Structure 1
Amino acid sequence: MSSPTTGSAGLEGTAPQAPETKVKSVIVACMLAVFLAMLDAQIVATALPRIVADLGGLDVFAWVTTAYIISSSVTTPVYGKLGDLFGRKKVFLIAIALFLLGSAASGAAQSMEQLILFRVVQGIGAGGLFVSVLAIIGEMFSPREGAKYFNLFGIVFAAAAVSGPAIGGVLTDLISWHWVFLINLPIGLVVFGMISTSLHLPPKKRQAHIDYAGFATLSIAIVSLTLLASWGGVKYDWVSPQIFGLGGIALLAAVLFVAAERRAAEPVIPLHLFRDSTFTISVLVSLVAGVVFLGAVNFLALYVQVVTGASPTLSGVVLLPMMFGLVASSVVSGRIITQTGTYKWYPVLSMATGIGGAVLFSTMDTGTPRVVVIAYMLLFGIAAGLNMQVLTMAAQNTAPRDDIGAVHATVSFSRQLGSTLGISVFAALFYNRLTDELTKRLPAGALAGTDRNTLSSHEVLDKLPATVRDAVKEAYTHALSPVFLAAVPVLVLGLVIALRMKNLPLRSWDHGGGEAAPEHSPTAAEH
C-alpha cells in the first residue's frame, strides 16, 4: 500500500519504509542525474567550434556527437533489463561511474580521435542515467503517487535546454572547452554519494540469465539505424548502396533480435509486454513525440536567427516561452493526474495541440511578427509537455513489477529513436529544399566565395548585400515550411494511436506479485 509520508510506496509489503529525508535525497539525486544527462548535448554543442580549432579533425568532428548518441541509444534498453536482474542501485551507480570516467577522459583528450573514443564511454554511462531514474521512481512509488515526481522531469529538461548553451559558452570563453566535460565531475560525485547512502530498495531474488544474443542483435540494429538516419540524404544519397546496406543490416538484426527474445529466459525487451495495448500504444506515441517535439523543434532556432535576425543570445530568449509552456503543461498535468488517477486524454490533447502548432509554424514567413512566433512556440511547448511523462506512467501502470526497468527503458528508447529519426529526416528535407530555393532566388555568382553551409551565421549574413540577404531569408522560410508540414501527418498518426489508449485509473497500490494491472478493471472508465 502506498505511503505518501514515507515515500516507500511501490515496494514489497515486507520492505522497510525509508525515512522521508532519505526519500528526498534520492529524488534530488535523481533530478541531478537527469540534468547531467540532458545537459551534455546542449553544453557540448556550444563548445564544438573551439574544440575543432584546438584539436583539429574537422572531417570527423560530427562523431563527437554521433558516437555519444549511438552508445547511449544502444545501452538504454540494456540498462533497464540489467536493473531488473541485478538491482537498480548497483546498475545506476555503475552508469554514473562510467559517465564520470568518460567525462574526465573527454576533458583530458589531446586529439579528436581520443575525444570521440572517450565520448563513447561517456555515452555508455549516459544510457543508464535517465532510464535508471525512471525505474527507481517506478519502484519506490505507486503509479499514482509517482505521477507528482514524474512531472518534475519537464522542469529538469527545460532547465538543461535553456542553461546548456549559456553554460557551455561561459566555460569555453572564460576557462577552456575542457570544462564542458569536467563540470560533470563534481555534480556526478554528489549524485553518486547521495544514491550510495540514501537509496535502499529490496534486493533482487531472481536468477540472472543474461540475454547476450538479444544485447548483440539489438545493438547492431540500433547502430545501423542511427547511422542510416544520420547519413541518409546528408553524407550519402537515400538510394545509395551505403544507405541500402545499413537498412538491410538493421532489418536483419531486428529480425534476429525478435527471434532471440522469443527464446531468451530473460529477454532485454520482453515481447509479452506488447500484448498489453497500453504499453504498445505508449511506445508508439513516444516514438511520434520524439520525431516531432524533439526532432522538428531543432529547426525553430534556424528560423529565429536567420529569418527574424535574432542574435544567438536573443534566439535563446525567444525560445524560452516554448520551454515555459512545456514546464507548465507538464507540471499541471502531473498534478491533475495525481488527483484524478486518469491520464488518457493528455497524450490525445498533446497530439491535437501539436498538429495546430505545426500548421501555424508552416505559415511563418519573413513578415511574421516575432510576438506571433513566440505565441506559436508557447502553444507547441504546451503540446510537448502534455505527453512528456504521461506515457511512461501509463506504461508502468499496467506492467508487471519484475519488468519495470524494461518498460521504462523501452519507452525512453522509443522517444530517443524518434528524435534521431526526426532530426535526420527533417534535416534531409530541409537542406534539399534549401538548395533548390537558393538556386531559384539568387542570381548566379551571388554567393561566390561564400560557403552555403555558413549562411546561418550572423557574421556571414551581415556581410552580404541587402538584396542577397533578403533572398537568403526567403529561401530559408520556404525551406522550413515543408519541415513543419511534414510533422502534421506524423502527429495525426500519433493522435489516432493515442485515441485507442484505454482510460485506466493509475494504481494507488503495488502489484507485489508481479502481475500486471488488468486492462479491464471494474473501476476503469473506458472511453
Structure 2
Amino acid sequence: MSAPTAQATGGLHPSGTRTTPAMVGCMLAAFLGILDTQIVATALPRIVGDLHGIDLFAWVTIAYVIASSVTTPIYGKLGDLFGRKVTFLSAMTLFMVGSALSGASGSMEALISFRVVQGMGAGGIFVSVLSIIGELFTPREGARFYGMFGMIFAGASLAGPAIGGLLTDVLSWHWVFLVNLPLGAIVFFLLTKYLHLPRQVRQSRLDYAGIVTLSGAIISFTLLTSWAGVQYAWTSARIIGLGLTAVVCLALFIVAESRAAEPIVPLRLFKDSTFTLSLLGTIVCGVVFVGSVNFLALYVQVVTGASPTTSGFVLLPMMLGLVLSSVGSSKVIRKTGKYKIFPVLSMALGIVGALLLSTMDASTPRIVSVLFMVVFGFASGLSAQVFTQAAQNTAPPQDLGAVSGVATFGRSFGTSIGISLFASIFYGRLTDEITARVPAGALRGVDHEALSSQSVLDSLAAPVRHAVEQAYAAALTPVFVTAVPILVAGLLITLCMKNLTLRSQHHGGGERKSAPATDAAPTGATPEAA
C-alpha cells in the first residue's frame, strides 16, 4: 500500500478507501481499552476468591489506573517525537503482553504486577487514537470520529458486564484478559497494513525530569483520592504525606517543564485559553459523568432490586441517550464548524439531570428513574469529545500529541477524583443511614460490606431488606447533590470559552482534498514502517 501524500505541515490527504481499515483498527483499539475495565470489574469477585486475596482487591484496579494515568501524557509526547504509528503499536504490544501475563497469573501479587504492564500499554491507546485522528483529518472532518467515541464508550460499557460474566462463568476468569489477544491481533494487523503517516523524527532528548516528577505527582494524587476517607482518614499522616508529595512533585514538574527543550507538557499550551478551559472542562466531565456511573448501577441493583443482567437493560436507555447526543452533536459540528454550544448545553442539562437523580429513593418507579438517567446520559454525550476537538483546533502541529495526551489524561484524572470523592461521600453516609434505619441486631452476623450482593439481600427479611434499600438510596442522594456545584463550575468554564469555528484545513495548508496515491515519500517525511 502506497503512502498518501503529505503537506509540509504534516497533514495527510487521506482517501476514504485507504483510511477506513486504519480507522476501524483505531476504534477497535479504543473499544478494547474501555471494555477491559468493564469485564475485569465483573470478574473480580471470582478472581479474589480463586487467588485468595480479598485484602488486595482494590489494587487490581488501582495499579492499572495509576500505570495508565502516568503514561498517557508521556505517550502523547513520544508520538510527537518519534511518530504516532510506532508509538501506537508499542502501546498495543505492551497492552497485549500485560493481558497475556494477567491471564496466566497464579497469585494476586503477580496479577497486580502484570496489570501495571497492561495499564502502561492502555495509557497509549486513547491518546494515540486521538492524535491519529487529529493528524489524518482536520478538526471539522474528524468530528464524526469523535462522535464514534461516544458510541464505542456506550457499547463497551453495556457489553462489558455481560461479556465478563459470560467469560467467567462459561470459561474462566483468565479469559477476561486473554480475550484481548485475538482482538488485539486484528488491531495490530489493520494498523500495520493500512495506517500510513509521515514520521517526523526530531533530534531531541526525552524530558526525563518531567517524566519522573509528573509520575510522582500522579501516583501520589491517585493514591490520595483512592484512600482518603475510605481506607484512611483525611487527617491521617499517610494522606497528608501523599498530599504534600503531590504538591512538591507538581511544583518540581513545572520547574522541569520550564527548562526542558522538549517538555512532556509544554507550558506554552496554557497560554491558549481554549486549551486551558478545554482541559478543565474535560476534568469536570470525568468527575461527574464518568465517576458517577458506578453509583447509578449500585442504585439500580440494590435499591430497585434488579439483577446484574436486568440492570444492564435499565441502564441501556441512558447509554443510548449518550450515543444519540454524541452522534447528533458531532454531525452538527462537522456541518457548521461550531462547537461551543454543546459543552454549555451539556453542563446545563447535566445540572438538571443531577438534581433529578438526587430525588430518587426506594419508592421511585423504575420508569421514572430511567427517564432521569436518560437526561443525564444525554447531557454526557453532548460534550463527550468536544473538549478534545476544541483543544486540537488551536494546537500547533508539533504539539498535537501533547495536547491529545493531556486531554486524555484530564478525563482519566477527573474520573479518578470523581470515583474517590463520591465513594467517600457515599460510604461515609451509608453507615449512619443503616444504623438509623435498620432495627438493632437485624443484621447480626451479616457482613455489611456484602450488603450489595443479591444473595445477601435475598436472605434478609422483607422489612430489613426494605430498610437497607432505603439506606442505600439515602446515602446515594448526596453523591448526586455534590455533582451539582461541580457542574455549575463546568458551566462557567464553558461559557468562558471562545466561540471559535473548527478549522476545515490544516495549519499552513489548504482545504482538504483527496490526492492520488504515490509511491514516493513526501518531502521531509518518511512513511512509518510497520
Give the TM-score category using the shorter length: over 0.9
Aligned partner of 1:381 among 377, 381, 398: 377
Provide the rounded CA distance (Å) in 1 between the counterparts of 2:183 and 2:265: 31
- String of CA shifts for 1:275-316, please: whole Å, max 9, x gaps: 101000100000001000011221011111111111111111
**Residue 497 (structure 1) shift:** 0.6
Q: What is the 5 A alignment of 1:238-257? A: 238-257=234-253
Provide the rounded CA distance (Å) in 1 between the counterparts of 2:253 and 2:495: 30
Preserved CA contact (<8 Å) 1:11 1:141: no
Q: What is the 5 A alignment of 1:31-110? A: 31-110=27-106
CA RMSD of aligned residues (A): 1.5
Q: Which residue of 1 aligns with 2:526?
A: none
Q: Which has the higher contact order (CA 8 A, sep 6+)?
A: 2
Would you say how many aligned residue pairs link Structure 1 and Structure 2? Answer: 508
Q: Which residue of 1 aligns with 2:208?
A: 212
- String of CA shifts for 1:343-367, please: whole Å, max 9, x gaps: 0010000000000000000111111
Identity of aligned residues (%): 62
Q: What is the 5 A alignment of 1:350-389? A: 350-389=346-385
**Residue 211 (structure 1) shift:** 0.2
Preserved CA contact (<8 Å) 1:10 1:139: no
Say whether 1:161 aligns with 2:149.
Answer: no
- String of CA shifts for 1:105-137, please: whole Å, max 9, x gaps: 111111111111111000000000010000001
**Residue 51 (structure 1) shift:** 1.1
Provide the rounded CA distance (Å) in 2 between the counterparts of 1:150 and 1:463: 46
Q: Which residue of 2 aligns with 1:524?
A: none
Q: Which residue of 2 aligns with 1:340?
A: 336
Preserved CA contact (<8 Å) 2:77 2:264: yes
Aligned partner of 2:451 among 447, 452, 455: 455
Provide the rounded CA distance (Å) in 2 between the counterparts of 1:444 and 1:451: 15
Preserved CA contact (<8 Å) 1:401 1:512: no
Preserved CA contact (<8 Å) 2:3 2:197: no
Say whether 1:423 aligns with 2:419.
Answer: yes
Q: Which residue of 2 aligns with 1:480?
A: 476
Provide the rounded CA distance (Å) in 2 between the counterparts of 1:433 and 1:148: 42
Q: Secondary structure at the match of 2:265?
A: coil
Aligned partner of 1:509 among 505, 509, 518: 505
Say whether 1:398 aligns with 2:432.
Answer: no
Q: What is the 5 A alignment of 1:163-312? A: 163-312=159-308
Preserved CA contact (<8 Å) 1:10 1:509: no
Preserved CA contact (<8 Å) 2:287 2:414: yes
Q: Which residue of 2 aligns with 1:432?
A: 428
Say whether 1:496 aligns with 2:454.
Answer: no
Q: Which residue of 2 aligns with 1:446?
A: 442
Gaps of 5+ in 2: 510-530
> For residues 58 and 13 of structure 1, do their structure 2 counterparts lie closer, same or farther at Cα, with a shift above 3 Å needed?
closer
Preserved CA contact (<8 Å) 1:7 1:141: no
> For residues 297 and 8 of structure 1, do their structure 2 counterparts lie closer, same or farther at Cα, with a shift above 3 Å needed?
farther
Q: Which residue of 2 aligns with 1:519?
A: none
Preserved CA contact (<8 Å) 1:353 1:380: yes
Provide the rounded CA distance (Å) in 2 between the counterparts of 1:511 and 1:131: 20
> For residues 418 and 60 of structure 1, do their structure 2 counterparts lie closer, same or farther at Cα, with a shift above 3 Å needed?
same
**Residue 12 (structure 1) shift:** 3.8
Say whether 1:26 aligns with 2:22.
Answer: yes
TM-score by length of 2: 0.94
> For residues 400 and 225 of structure 1, do their structure 2 counterparts lie closer, same or farther at Cα, with a shift above 3 Å needed?
same
Preserved CA contact (<8 Å) 1:55 1:112: yes
Provide the rounded CA distance (Å) in 2 between the counterparts of 1:18 and 1:380: 36
Provide the rounded CA distance (Å) in 2 between the counterparts of 1:80 and 1:313: 38
Q: Which residue of 2 aligns with 1:130?
A: 126
Provide the rounded CA distance (Å) in 1 between the counterparts of 2:60 and 2:373: 30
Provide the rounded CA distance (Å) in 2 between the counterparts of 1:288 and 1:344: 16
Aligned AA for 1:465? A
Q: Which residue of 1 aligns with 2:135?
A: 139
After superposing the two structures, state which structure 1 stretch, 313-322 or 51-60, moved more.
Answer: 51-60
Preserved CA contact (<8 Å) 1:10 1:142: no
Provide the rounded CA distance (Å) in 2 between the counterparts of 1:64 and 1:365: 32
> For residues 14 and 62 of structure 1, do their structure 2 counterparts lie closer, same or farther at Cα, with a shift above 3 Å needed?
closer
- String of CA shifts for 1:248-291, please: whole Å, max 9, x gaps: 00000000000000000010011100110100010000000100
Regions of 4+ moved over 4 Å: 6-11, 13-19
Provide the rounded CA distance (Å) in 1 between the counterparts of 2:457 and 2:21: 49
Preserved CA contact (<8 Å) 2:287 2:416: yes
**Residue 443 (structure 1) shift:** 2.4
Q: Which residue of 2 aligns with 1:3?
A: none
**Residue 22 (structure 1) shift:** 2.1
**Residue 201 (structure 1) shift:** 1.0
Preserved CA contact (<8 Å) 1:9 1:510: no
Aligned AA for 1:165? P
Provide the rounded CA distance (Å) in 1 between the counterparts of 2:296 and 2:167: 25
Gaps of 5+ in 1: 1-5, 514-527
